Structure 1
Amino acid sequence: MKTSERIINEAAQGMRSLDEAVDWFSSLDEGEQNSVLREIVLYLIQVHVTAEDGREGLARSGVKATMTPAVLIVREPILEQIGKIAGLPPNEYLKAFRVLLSTFAVADTRRRDTECQGACSHAWHNLS
């Protein structure tokens, strides 16, 4: 499992705080940050993110509701909006990361509680 995958999933499962994940993300260069944002978008697609997940994720993210990533995450269609968030300029990357990661935490928890309950073999849901 690559570092970004581990950190994203640890944060989503509460094994790492959002602030710790933000510190790690902030240490990356701009290109790496962009790759991480796009990686989270792929994870959100895989977990079938909903607009409700986006609203709850925003509430957990610490990002003001008037910031661009916050405005986008609560709009429909959600898949189009998360793609726009990953495509924001570098000065928005940190806010985008907080919003996308918090939304992933909500959506992934929902999926683990419904579809993966009890017999999950996904490596990212079985972190040690």
Structure 2
Amino acid sequence: MKESERIINEVAQGFIQLDEGVSWFSALEPAQQKSVLREVVSYSMQAHATVEDGREGVVRSGVKPTANPAVMIVREPLPDRMAKIINLPHSENVKAFRVLVAAFAVADTRRRETQCKGRCGHEWHNLIL
């Protein structure tokens, strides 16, 4: 498992705090940050994230609801909005990470509790810390 995959899923599953994930993310080069944002969007789509997950993610993220990533994640069509979040200026990357990871956490928790409960073989759902 890649470091980014492990950290994203540790944050989503509550093994590490969002602020710890943000510290790790902030230390990355801008190009690496964009790559991680793309990764989180991909995981969110696999978890079938919804606009409602985005709303809950904004609340959990600590980002002001008026910040660009927060405004974008609560509108349809969500895949298009998430793609636009990735393309925000570098100065928005940390806010984007906070919002995207928090929304992913909501969607992924639902997926683990419904589709994967008791029969999951996904490596990222079976983290051993």
Q: TM-score, normalised by structure 2?
A: 0.98
1:103 matched residue in structure 2:
103
Matched, 1:3 2:8: no
The 5 A counterparts of 1:32-51 are 32-51=32-51
What's the CA shift for 1:52? 0.5
RMSD: 0.5
Letter in 2 for 1:116: C
The count of corresponding residues between Structure 1 and Structure 2 is: 128
Letter in 2 for 1:4: S
Instruction: Return the letter of the residue paired with 1:49.
Output: A
Distance in 2, Cα, partners of 1:87 & 1:120: 33
Q: 1:17 aligns to what?
A: 17
One-letter amino acid matched to 1:19 = D
Structure 1 segments (4+ residues) deviating >6 Å? none
Q: Quick one: percent identity of the two aligned structures?
A: 62
For residue 79 of structure 1, report the CA deviation from its aligned partner. Answer: 1.1
Q: TM-score scaled to structure 1, two decimals? A: 0.99
Unpaired runs of at least 5, structure 2: none
1:40 and 1:88 mapped to 2: Cα distance?
A: 15
Distance in 2 separating the partners of 1:111 and 1:81: 21
Partners of 1:59 and 1:73 in 2: how far apart?
12
One-letter amino acid matched to 2:20? E
